[in-house]
Amino acid sequence: MKKRILRYLKHIFGTITVLVITGICALLYLNGSLNYGQNSKSYDLSHEGPYVFYENDSLLTINYVKGNRHDGFYVDTKHHTLKQLISGTCFFPLDSTSFTFPLKSNFQTPKAIYNDGNKILAISDIESKYKTFRDFLISNQVIDKELNWTFGKGHLVLVGDFVDRGFSTTQVLWFIYKLEQEAKKHGGNVHFILGNHELKNLQGQYKSAEQKYYAIASILGKQQYNLYDQNSFLGKWMASKNTIELINGILFTHGGIHPEITESNLTLQDLNRINRENYYNRYFPKPEKNIIQTVLSTKKGICWYRGYFRDNLSQEEVEKGIEKFNAKTIVVGHTIQSKVKKYYNGKVLAIDVKHPDDYSSSWPNKKSEGLLIENNNFFRTFYNGTKEKL
Query: pLDDT tens-digit profile of 76-91?
Result: 999 999 888 899 999 9
Tell me how far apart the alpha carbons of residues 198 and 237 are, in angstroms, rounded to a whole number: 12
Average pLDDT of every residue of the chain: 92
pTM of the model: 0.92
Q: Would you place residue 326 in the very low, low, confident or very high pLDDT band (cuts 50, 70, 90)?
A: very high
Tell me the percentage of the chain whose pLDDT exceeds 70: 90
Strand segments (E) across the chain: 34-36, 51-54, 59-68, 72-81, 87-92, 97-102, 113-114, 120-123, 155-159, 189-193, 244-247, 250-253, 329-332, 341-343, 348-350, 361-363, 369-374, 377-382, 387-389
Name the percent of the chain lying above pLDDT 90: 83
The residue-averaged pLDDT of 60-85 equals: 94
Residue 6: per-residue pLDDT = 61
269 — phi, psi (to 5°)? Answer: -60, -40
Q: How far is CA 352 from CA 127, 334, 338, 383, in A?
A: 11, 6, 8, 14
Neighbour count for residue 10 (Cβ, 10 Å)? 10
240's CB contacts (< 8 A; 6+ apart) are 107, 108, 109, 110, 276
Residue 373 near residue 123, CB atoms below 8 Å: no
The pLDDT of residue 34 is 66
How far is residue 237's CA from residue 175's CA, in Å, rounded to a whole number? 13
pLDDT tens for each residue of 165-212 = 999 999 999 999 999 999 999 999 999 999 999 999 999 999 999 999
Q: Give tens-digit pLDDT for 96-154.
A: 999 999 999 889 999 999 999 999 999 999 999 999 999 999 999 999 999 999 999 99
Closest C-alpha among 373, 73, 165, 103 to residue 251? 373
